[in-house]
Amino acid sequence: MTVAAPRYDHRPDRASRRRTRHYAMTPPTFFTVEYAINPWMDPTTVVDTALALAQWETLRRTYTDLGHTVDVIDPVPGLPDMVYAANGGLIVGDTAVVARFAYPQRAAEAHAYAAWMTARGLRPVETRHVNEGQGDLLVVGATVLAGYGFRTDRRAHDEIAARLDCPIVSLELVDPRFYHLDTALAVLDDTTIAYYPPAFSDASRTTLSTLFPDAIEVASADAYVLGLNAVSDGYHVVLPAAATGFAEQLRAGGFRPVGVDLSELLKGGGSVKCCTLEVHP
């Protein structure tokens, strides 16, 4: 009789560490690409708004099927980028920092997001310097990783650290394709990140490898389909379906990748994370 050898699995038990999340999303009802404020956008591109809405709805359903809560924010005509709700601000507990956008085309979104925060019973606080919300401000454990170089002004990092009373790590972005931090770095749980090293300055790469020695480094093929524009609950990682190499790395690390196709929204330079504003407890 043969006895099967016990199988040891040294990967952390991530499934038991997942946390139910609270997100806010704005449907792409008025989504178009009519101006170009990042290298992904081409105003001659035809956008299929109905397909964008269907893809967005699949993302929303993915979250609710995973047990998460999704608030839906009213879209505003004339603000085609409002679908990228991550940029609306940074909400941690009672503190709601509202965005101050870098480009005039998006400036009015700040009023819409501030109105939504107020309706939720939060008091939106402004920064003097440009901050594009969770596009550049990512919470990992008790720390905020903050991007600068293209959109969020580095001086806003200090304003936000003071508001939230938490440490902020400033990271410099150097490749215009990866103009927001959330296009180049994904937070997977309170201590784990994934990132694309070439998107960062040498000094910031050193910072990241020192703070996160176990980080997943993704390849160009995944970064260039915005694979890092992903949302994790600590176990399930919702990511662009085309990022198959990153999905494999996640699986090997004990995470559960969930691919979603947001091809229409990629035309505006965004994907899963851009469409998702997390409301942090």
Find the shortest distance in angstroms from Cβ 3 to ligand ARG.
Answer: 53
Find the shortest distance in angstroms from Cβ 136 to ligand ARG.
Answer: 8
The set of residues, in sequence order, having a beta carbon less than 8 Å from that of 73 and lying 6+ positions away, is 24, 25, 26, 82, 85, 88, 112, 113, 116
Is 64 in a helix, a strand, or coil? Answer: helix
Residue closer to ligand ARG (CB basis): 259 or 270: 270
Looking at residue 32, the DSSP 8-state letter turns out to be: -
Residue closer to ligand ARG (CB basis): 81 or 222: 81
Tokens for 151, please give them.
Answer: 């959109």
Residue closer to ligand ARG (CB basis): 41 or 47: 41
Q: What is the DSSP string of 165-197?
A: TS-EEEEEB--GGG-SGGGTEEE-SSS-EEE-G
**Paired sense of beta strands 123-125 and 185-187, if any:** unpaired
Indicate if 280 belongs to the active site: no
Strands (E), the chain: 22-25, 69-72, 89-92, 95-98, 123-125, 137-140, 143-148, 168-172, 185-187, 193-195, 216-217, 231-232, 236-240, 256-260, 277-280
Residue closer to ligand ARG (CB basis): 14 or 110: 110
Find the shortest distance in angstroms from Cβ 180 to ligand ARG.
Answer: 4
The site for ligand ARG (CB under 6 A) is made up of 37-38, 41, 81, 84, 86-87, 106, 135, 180, 182-183, 268-270, 274
The set of residues, in sequence order, having a beta carbon less than 8 Å from that of 195 and lying 6+ positions away, is 184, 185, 186, 208, 215, 216, 217, 218, 228
The set of residues, in sequence order, having a beta carbon less than 8 Å from that of 60 and lying 6+ positions away, is 25, 70, 72
In angstroms, how far is the first alpha carbon of the chain from the final one? 54
Per annotation, catalytic residue among 68, 157, 236, 274: 274
Find the shortest distance in angstroms from Cβ 10 to ligand ARG.
Answer: 34
Indicate if 274 belongs to the active site: yes
Looking at residue 200, the DSSP 8-state letter turns out to be: B
Burial zone of 132 (CB within 10 Å; 0-12 exposed, 13-18 middle, 19+ buried):
buried
Per annotation, catalytic residue among 157, 180, 236, 275: 180
Residue closer to ligand ARG (CB basis): 14 or 179: 179
Residue closer to ligand ARG (CB basis): 41 or 241: 41
Find the shortest distance in angstroms from Cβ 121 to ligand ARG.
Answer: 25
Find the shortest distance in angstroms from Cβ 32 to ligand ARG.
Answer: 11
Among all residues, which ones are annotated catalytic?
180, 274
